[in-house]
Amino acid sequence: MKRVLFVAAAAALLVTGRAGPVFPDVSKLPSNPDPPDPLTMVDGQRVTSREQWFQRRRPELKALFQHYMYGWFPPPVQVQGVVTYTDARFFEGQATLKLVTLKLAAAGAPETHLLMVIPNHRASPAPVFLGMNFSGNHTLVTDTHVPLPTSWMPRPEPSAADHHALEAGRGTQIHVWELEQTIRRGYAVATYYCGDVEPDTTNAAGGVRETIRRPSASDDWGTIAAWAWGLQRAVDYLVTDSDIDNKHIALVGHSRLGKAAILAGAFDDRVALVIPLQAGCGGTAPSRGTVGESVQRINISFPHWFCGEFKKFNTQPDLLPFDQHCLMALCAPRSILLGAAVEDIWANPAGAFDMLKAADKVYRFLGADGLAAQTMPETNRLVDSNLGFFIRPGKHSMTKQDWQFFLDFADKQWGKPRTE
């Protein structure tokens, strides 16, 4: 019976109508060498009230991003979370390890395997950082109860061979996630392997896009949208988990997974804080940027990440009716922290700062706090206003130091978690 219901849900998704309005062909769009004003509608009307922003401009921007860049976002489907394992003595009794399988009510949709670590010494439900990982939950811990992913793996030895995860990868990414540090600061972490939702490859097989799709539409969803949608389904589960403070959910993601994090956060009001780390082109850096990766470069290297329409902007990003500051503005009045690294020019740190500065306008318009810095801060200084920023020395990577900035920022915005 359950199976029949699931099949019905999937069939409905395949025939769901187009999202919102019909937008002009790219060749008809006006050139805009500067980032378009987030407070002006495509028809030229100025946004003059809060209501206009939330009821007209925000939905318009969401539709524009879907149509011209990331592709269609399917409506949500029901999620069932099944706890498969718990250990209340994790990290020498400091935390509880909880493994949860998320099952989507759509026939053939892949399962997501969530690894949660939750601090034990807390006076109330824990605020949480939710993010995807690149190489499997088992690479974040040494505990052998955490299973290897069964989905497609891109990473070479020692983590994977022949596109299958290997036991040899266990514990190899502990320094990237630094789970114990986050636990000590009173926050929970929930993470899963991105390939559980959608494999990072052009000839995708076994991902959510195989099941839920609009075949041959030039704005059918790409991998970044699929990952973002998957994050939202994980949020669906987290808001029902009594260990978690559902008012304090932060989305975190590094690089391509940071592109998915900012997209998911922009489209989802339940997310209180978004932390896209070094997300670069297609995430937090301007599409009109002249530093680092270009729209053309990203579309050639990763044709599966964005929708077909986005390729039409390869040599003419000035035609885009938005830039990435508009994606950040969709998060308003909620918090954003951008993280950058000095040597990571490919991700265009200065361009990302400019985008944050341009999003500030919408925050102020809505009466919210924005960015308390006019110029990019010196290295290692955290700008901890509602729109936050830091740049640290070093290369493109996620490190213990990045997590310290995330934790300091969350403490500032939310107050330190209460411990017992």
The position carrying tokens 């718990």 is 86
Report whether 348 contacts 276 (CB < 8 A). no
Q: CA dihedral in degrees (117, 123, 129, 135; nearest 10)?
A: -10
Q: At what angle do helices 58-65 and 256-266 cross, to 10 degrees?
A: 150
Residues between 236 and 265 with contacts to ligand GCU, criterion CB under 6 A: 255-256
CB of 328 to ligand GCU, least distance (A): 17
Residue closer to ligand GCU, measured from CB, 248 or 256: 256
CB of 160 to ligand GCU, least distance (A): 16
Residue closer to ligand GCU, measured from CB, 256 or 304: 256
Cite the DSSP H helix spans in 172-250: 174-177, 179-184, 208-211, 223-238
Burial class (CB in 10 A: 0-12, 13-18, 19+), 111: middle
The Cα 126–Cα 41 span in angstroms is 39
CB of 176 to ligand GCU, least distance (A): 12
Report whether 149 contacts 124 (CB < 8 A). no
* Contact pattern for ligand GCU over residues 197 through 236, marking x by CB under 6 A: ----------------------------------------
Q: Does 360 bind ligand GCU (CB under 6 A)?
A: no
Residues between 330 and 349 with contacts to ligand GCU, criterion CB under 6 A: 346
CB of 316 to ligand GCU, least distance (A): 20
Residue closer to ligand GCU, measured from CB, 179 or 281: 281
Residue closer to ligand GCU, measured from CB, 127 or 207: 207
Burial class (CB in 10 A: 0-12, 13-18, 19+), 31: exposed
- Cβ neighbours around 400 below 10 Å, total: 12
Report whether 235 contacts 271 (CB < 8 A). yes
What is the DSSP-derived secondary structure letter of residue 79? E
CB of 266 to ligand GCU, least distance (A): 17
Q: Which of 280, 289, 388, 417 binds ligand GCU (CB under 6 A)?
A: 280
Active-site positions? 255, 396
CB of 179 to ligand GCU, least distance (A): 21
The Cα 286–Cα 340 span in angstroms is 14
* Contact pattern for ligand GCU over residues 291 through 310, marking x by CB under 6 A: --x----x--x---------
CB of 253 to ligand GCU, least distance (A): 9
Report whether 251 contacts 273 (CB < 8 A). yes
Residue closer to ligand GCU, measured from CB, 230 or 417: 230
Residue closer to ligand GCU, measured from CB, 186 or 276: 276
Dihedral sign, Cα of residue 316, residue 318, residue 319, residue 325: positive
Q: Which residues are CB-contacts of 221 (< 8 A; sequence separation ≥ 6)?
A: 70, 71, 72, 73, 74, 209, 213, 229, 307
Residue closer to ligand GCU, measured from CB, 113 or 259: 259
Q: Which of 281, 307, 330, 352 binds ligand GCU (CB under 6 A)?
A: 281
- Rounded alpha-carbon distances, angstroms, from residue 135 to 64, 181, 212, 330, 349: 32, 20, 24, 30, 25
Q: Which residues bind ligand GCU (CB under 6 A)?
A: 255-256, 280-281, 293, 298, 301, 346
